[in-house]
């Protein structure tokens, strides 16, 4: 194993709002090795973007990193001065964002916005910047790059804008590229092209990639290792194969079950995880997934499970784990995945409606 | 830069301005000629003598005929003669007064844009701090206090209480001397004239900056590792200027109407002063000329504003 280029330890980022302290990210730890492709998945609001923003110091008021360290090339990014951090942003660690239209400045030419990233750091010799801007645009497969570089963002299509964003991110040959939902705003065929591009660039340039997405298919297509986040914490970590074939955390398991499949029987209900993610201001005691977990046991309500090794290179934060759920609770055959359904644990009389009692109209709407 | 489309657009707008000028001058011509009283009526001139004078100036003809002869000579650059100062050609008079007013108004406009955007950006960058509160308060005072109150205070302070300090800076020569005044002489009336509009610009710039700073492309710019000054000026301010430009047209009108008051209070011999004097003296030709020049200024200002849009925002093309 090589030394990680980025190591996040115990990162916590909270937002101090008028309604209370939103504990968006709590005690997140992970490492990224050189050239690695790491996926961070989870549903909206689970803290994946905030984690990425914390790495680059881009969290805006009222948000604040309250604990942890982010080691990059031997220094803690959280302890750097503004100017030192600015020198790392866009130079050693680049970031691309979700919506490529709103992420590009509408009044500046695309070429200018790409070149500007290079001028800001002087890593690329000044006389080569313009040439490299065109080359980058070619590298991300924008046709007619010489002419297109003088266009404004509104003259680009959605896919081209994201390509331009990627070109901008790669311009200073960063060691790490953080891609925050890079394909979400694009249609499916363009999504596939962008992912292929990222994969090729990862191989060609050797830049490590952190891909943040809620889309499991996107992760499967690009990442070798995957982190699953839920309610501001990492609940499972493993190789892509482990996460997709042998998930150990009930949340990962539920998430995979809820992916719509084209080969599924028609007329089958689209499965979803019952309930909503917890309120990050007022978190439940114990495991944060307990209000929605079909396999919960009494202990889940009292103690928060630590993240522990469950298989070589695979870690999960669960008192039960799917291995036990399959062996003891019949996880392979259950159809009712309402909270506590498989384990029969309903403390304080908290019981969700069994599937049979769901009103007919609601059930039909879900068809 | 100037595409074929833009040139056609400019030509269309210029044609529209000419049409507006004819309409404005016609309406004003009819209106002032319907007002009671005349520039020539006095105890000494009446009866037969008055008839003679009216005939001499062509005022005894039907009004539409009079307008037609005004229009045809105006096209040749001759706006007729004054009645008050009998026989004085109006075109050179108005041109001289226009240059005086333009100096004053231009300075006020520079103050408006300079101070307004600077205050707006500073207030937005330091939102909810004492800087923000101070600048926002100044802006609120700016657009709430009427200019004649400020002008009166200005005269009181600088020419009555502090005449030794200012050394008579605000005594304004009534005679045209090539350029109207030095920057120091212009500063007081220009600052007071631009104060109201600066307040408006501060308010709009601040709001626009606050909105722009929340945009995704600002986050992108910061993620690129740009210096915060570059992010503020190049990425944020350029976008925040778009709403500021859209109120520039109305602001120019504010400055023109404001100059009527300011010039009268400070005794500055510009268009605004002439505007009031010509109406009081029933000097029809001068009134029509001044109105028409104002209409021309506003038409051109609006055209310039619309062209400025295309410079700042590439998404707008004509």
Asked if the Cβ–Cβ distance from B224 to A168 is below 8 Å, we say: yes
The residue to which tokens 């925050």 are assigned: A180
Residues A255 and A186 in one domain: no
CATH of residue A46: 3.40.50.300
Average pLDDT, chain A: 85
Asked if the Cβ–Cβ distance from A120 to B226 is below 8 Å, we say: yes
Residue A240 within a domain: no
Tokens encoding B86: 């009998």
* Mean pLDDT along residues B42-66: 81
Please tell us whether the domain made up of B90-276 is placed in CATH 1.20.140.160: no
To the nearest whole Å, the CA of B9 is away from the closest chain A CA by: 22
To the nearest whole Å, the CA of A95 is away from the closest chain B CA by: 6
Is A316 an 8 Å CB contact of chain B? no
Tokens encoding B56: 């001499």
Residues A43 and A148 in one domain: yes
Residues A70 and A131 in one domain: yes
What is the per-residue pLDDT for A218?
86
> Helical H runs in chain B?
4-34, 48-56, 63-75, 90-125, 130-144, 147-155, 163-166, 183-213, 216-223, 228-230, 238-246, 248-266, 271-280, 284-312
Please count the structural domains in chain A: 2
* Mean pLDDT along residues B38-57: 77
Would you place residue A361 in the very low, low, confident or very high pLDDT band (cuts 50, 70, 90)? very low
CA–CA separation, B263 and B170 (whole Å): 12
Residue A306 within a domain: yes
Is A86 an 8 Å CB contact of chain B? yes
pLDDT > 60? residue A13: yes
pLDDT > 90? residue A256: no
To the nearest whole Å, the CA of A101 is away from the closest chain B CA by: 9
Taking only the tens place, the pLDDT of each residue in B98-156 is: 888 888 899 899 999 999 999 999 999 988 899 999 999 999 998 899 888 988 888 88
Residues A27 and A162 in one domain: yes
Q: Which positions in chain A touch B239 (Cβ < 8 Å)?
A: 105-107
Q: What is the DSSP letter of B72?
A: H
Residue A233 within a domain: no
Q: Which positions in chain A touch B236 (Cβ < 8 Å)?
A: none
Taking only the tens place, the pLDDT of each residue in B106-120 is: 989 999 999 999 999
Asked if the Cβ–Cβ distance from A97 to B315 is below 8 Å, we say: no
Residue A51 within a domain: yes
Dihedral, A132, A133, A135, A141 alpha carbons, nearest 10: 160
Residue A238 within a domain: no
The size of the A-B interface in CB pairs under 8 A is 75
Sequence spans of domains, chain B: 90-276
Asked if the Cβ–Cβ distance from B227 to A86 is below 8 Å, we say: yes
pLDDT > 70? residue A365: no
Beta partners for residue A168, in sequence order: none
Domain residue limits at A314: 250-365
Asked if the Cβ–Cβ distance from A91 to B225 is below 8 Å, we say: yes
What is the per-residue pLDDT for B298?
93
pLDDT > 90? residue B168: no
Q: Between these two residues, A302 and B120, which has the higher pLDDT value?
A: B120
What is the per-residue pLDDT for B172?
58
CA–CA separation, A88 and A151 (whole Å): 28
Q: Which of A102, A106, A116 sits opposite B224 (nearest CB)?
A: A116
To the nearest whole Å, the CA of B156 is away from the closest chain A CA by: 47
Q: Which positions in chain B touch A90 (Cβ < 8 Å)?
A: 223-226
Asked if the Cβ–Cβ distance from A94 to B223 is below 8 Å, we say: yes
* Mean pLDDT along residues B27-48: 80
Asked if the Cβ–Cβ distance from A120 to B225 is below 8 Å, we say: yes
Burial of A99 (0-12, 13-18, 19+ CB in 10 A): middle
Q: Which of B218, B220, B227, B244 to mutate to test the interface with A (most CBs of A within 10 A)?
A: B220
Tokens encoding B167: 């050394």
Q: Which positions in chain A touch B215 (Cβ < 8 Å)?
A: 102
Q: Residue B238: which residues within 8 A CB-CB, separation 6 or more?
A: A105, A107, A108, B312
Residues A164 and A293 in one domain: no
Residues A110 and A72 in one domain: yes
Nearest to B124 by CA among B138, B137, B136: B136
Residue A241 within a domain: no
Helix (H) or strand (E) holding A198: helix A188-205
Residues A87 and A178 in one domain: yes
Would you place residue A185 in the very low, low, confident or very high pLDDT band (cuts 50, 70, 90)? confident
Residues A280 and A173 in one domain: no
Is A190 an 8 Å CB contact of chain B? no
Asked if the Cβ–Cβ distance from A106 to B223 is below 8 Å, we say: no
* Mean pLDDT along residues B230-250: 91
To the nearest whole Å, the CA of B309 is away from the closest chain A CA by: 11
Average pLDDT, chain B: 86
Residue A234 within a domain: no
Prior bond of B202 cis (ω within 30°): no
What is the per-residue pLDDT for A104?
92
What is the per-residue pLDDT for B86?
77
Would you place residue A99 in the very low, low, confident or very high pLDDT band (cuts 50, 70, 90)? confident
Q: Which positions in chain A touch B221 (Cβ < 8 Å)?
A: 105
% of chain B with per-residue pLDDT over 70:
91
pTM: 0.80
Q: Which positions in chain A touch B226 (Cβ < 8 Å)?
A: 86, 90, 116-117, 120
Taking only the tens place, the pLDDT of each residue in B253-304 is: 999 999 999 988 888 888 998 899 888 888 888 999 999 999 999 999 999 9
Residues A317 and A196 in one domain: no
Asked if the Cβ–Cβ distance from B216 to A97 is below 8 Å, we say: yes
* Mean pLDDT along residues A72-88: 89
Is A168 an 8 Å CB contact of chain B? yes
Asked if the Cβ–Cβ distance from B216 to A94 is below 8 Å, we say: no
Asked if the Cβ–Cβ distance from B234 to A165 is below 8 Å, we say: no
What is the per-residue pLDDT for B167?
60
Taking only the tens place, the pLDDT of each residue in A225-243 is: 999 999 999 999 999 999 9
pLDDT > 70? residue B170: no
pLDDT > 80? residue B215: yes
To the nearest whole Å, the CA of A131 is away from the closest chain B CA by: 19
Q: What is the DSSP letter of A76?
A: E
Would you place residue B180 in the very low, low, confident or very high pLDDT band (cuts 50, 70, 90)? low
Residues A24 and A160 in one domain: yes
To the nearest whole Å, the CA of B217 is away from the closest chain A CA by: 4
User: Which residue does chain A place closest to B316, by CA atoms?
Assistant: A107
CA–CA separation, A230 and A311 (whole Å): 20
What is the per-residue pLDDT for A275?
80
Residue A158 within a domain: yes
């Amino acid at each position: 194993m090589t030394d990680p280029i980025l190591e996040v330890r115990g990162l916590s980022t909270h937002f101090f709002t008028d309604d209370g302290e939103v504990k968006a990210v709590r005690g997140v730890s992970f490492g990224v090795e050189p050239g690695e492709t790491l996926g961070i998945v989870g549903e909206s609001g689970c803290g994946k973007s905030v984690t990425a923003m914390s790495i680059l110091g881009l969290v805006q008021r009222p948000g604040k990193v309250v604990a942890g360290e982010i080691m990059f090339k031997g220094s803690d990014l959280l302890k750097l001065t503004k100017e030192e951090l600015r020198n790392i942003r866009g130079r050693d660690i680049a970031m691309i964002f979700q919506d490529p239209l709103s992420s590009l400045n509408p009044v500046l030419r695309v070429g200018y916005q790409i070149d500007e990233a290079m001028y800001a750091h002087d890593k690329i010799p000044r006389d080569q910047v313009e040439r490299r801007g065109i080359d980058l645009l070619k590298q991300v497969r924008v046709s007619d790059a010489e002419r297109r570089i003088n266009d404004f963002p509104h003259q680009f299509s959605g896919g081209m804008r994201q390509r331009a964003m990627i070109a901008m991110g790669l311009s200073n040959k960063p060691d790490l590229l953080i891609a925050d939902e890079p394909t979400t705003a694009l249609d499916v065929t363009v999504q596939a092209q962008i992912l292929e591009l990222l994969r090729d660039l990862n191989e060609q340039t050797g830049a490590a990639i952190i891909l943040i997405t809620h889309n499991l298919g996107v992760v499967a297509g690009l990442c070798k290792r995957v982190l699953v986040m839920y309610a501001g914490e990492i609940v499972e970590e493993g190789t892509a194969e482990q996460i997709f074939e042998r998930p150990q955390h009930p949340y990962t398991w539920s998430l995979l079950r809820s992916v719509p499949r084209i080969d599924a029987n028609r007329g089958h209900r689209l499965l979803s995880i019952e309930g909503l993610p917890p309120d990050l201001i007022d978190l439940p005691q114990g495991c944060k997934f307990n209000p929605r977990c079909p396999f919960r046991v009494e202990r889940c309500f009292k103690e928060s499970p630590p993240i522990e090794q469950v298989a070589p290179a695979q870690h999960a934060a669960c008192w039960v784990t799917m291995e036990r759920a399959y062996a003891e609770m019949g996880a392979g055959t259950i159809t009712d995945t309402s909270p506590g359904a498989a384990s029969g644990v309903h403390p304080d009389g908290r019981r969700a409606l069994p599937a049979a009692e769901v009103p007919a109209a609601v059930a039909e709407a879900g068809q | 830069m100037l595409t074929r489309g833009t040139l056609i657009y400019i030509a269309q707008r210029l044609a529209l301005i000419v049409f507006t000028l004819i309409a404005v001058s016609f309406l004003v011509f009819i209106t002032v000629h319907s007002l009671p009283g005349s520039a020539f009526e006095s105890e000494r001139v009446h009866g037969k003598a008055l008839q003679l004078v009216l005939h001499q100036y062509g005022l005894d003809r039907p009004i539409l005929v009079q307008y037609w002869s005004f229009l045809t000579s105006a096209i040749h650059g001759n706006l007729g003669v004054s009645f008050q100062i009998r026989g004085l050609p109006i075109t050179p008079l108005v041109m001289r007064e226009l240059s005086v007013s333009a100096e004053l108004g231009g300075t006020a406009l520079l103050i408006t844009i300079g101070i307004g955007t600077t205050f707006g950006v500073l207030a937005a960058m330091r939102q909810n701090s004492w800087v923000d509160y101070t600048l926002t308060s100044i802006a609120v005072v700016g657009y709430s206090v009427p200019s004649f109150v400020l002008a009166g205070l200005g005269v009181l302070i600088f020419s009555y209480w502090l005449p030794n300090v200012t050394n008579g800076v605000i005594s304004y020569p009534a005679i045209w001397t090539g350029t109207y005044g030095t920057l120091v002489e212009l500063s007081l009336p220009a600052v007071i004239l631009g104060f109201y509009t600066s307040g408006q610009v501060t308010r709009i710039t601040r709001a626009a900056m606050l909105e722009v700073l929340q945009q995704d492309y600002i986050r992108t710019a910061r993620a690129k590792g740009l210096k915060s000054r570059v992010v503020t000026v190049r990425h944020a301010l350029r976008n925040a200027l778009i709403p500021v430009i859209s109120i520039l047209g109305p602001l120019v009108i504010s400055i023109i109407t404001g100059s009527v008051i300011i010039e009268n209070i400070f005794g500055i011999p510009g268009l605004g002063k002439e505007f009031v004097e010509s109406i009081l003296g029933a000097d029809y030709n001068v009134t029509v000329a001044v109105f028409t020049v104002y209409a021309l200024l506003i038409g051109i200002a609006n055209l310039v504003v619309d062209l400025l849009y295309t410079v700042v925002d590439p998404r707008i093309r004509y």
